Amino acid sequence: MDYIIKYGWLSLIIAMTGDLFVSGALSIFYKEYSSTKMSISALGNPSSPVRRPFNIWMVLEGILFLMSIPAVYKYYYPVSGGLTVTVVIFIAVFGHSFVQERREFDGRYRYCMFCNLNGFLRLVCDG
């Protein structure tokens, strides 16, 4: 069980830092992309030259966030059970939405509730 906790924190750190570095690195290869005017989701749109690596990273990032849940729960539950459960639910929805958002259907992104929730959470958290 300790290795799940240990690797949970590691996966959380990789997901959080990777979100910054991967999107920054991929934006170099997308000439039309402007980080000040466009959302990072534009890196994964069908006309983006970095679409495939970005979408692969987003799925991996979602999995990394989901892997971090046991570590967050075990560490923070003794401090505040209700708040911890709320945070774990947000992490689960956020991580799951990364995976769901990148699933394609007939070349088009399909509608999913988690995708819209992910966009809302990004808007609130990013300011």
DSSP string, 55-93: HHHHHHHHHHHHHTHHHHHHHHTTT-HHHHHHHHHHHHH
- Bridge partners, residue 109, by sequence: 104
Q: What is the pLDDT of residues 58-115, one digit of tens each?
A: 888 888 998 999 999 999 999 999 999 999 998 888 887 766 665 543 344 444 444 5
What confidence tier does 11 reach under pLDDT thresholds 50, 70, 90?
Answer: very high
Residue 108's CB is within 10 A of a number of other CB atoms, namely 8
CB 11 within 8 A of CB 64: yes
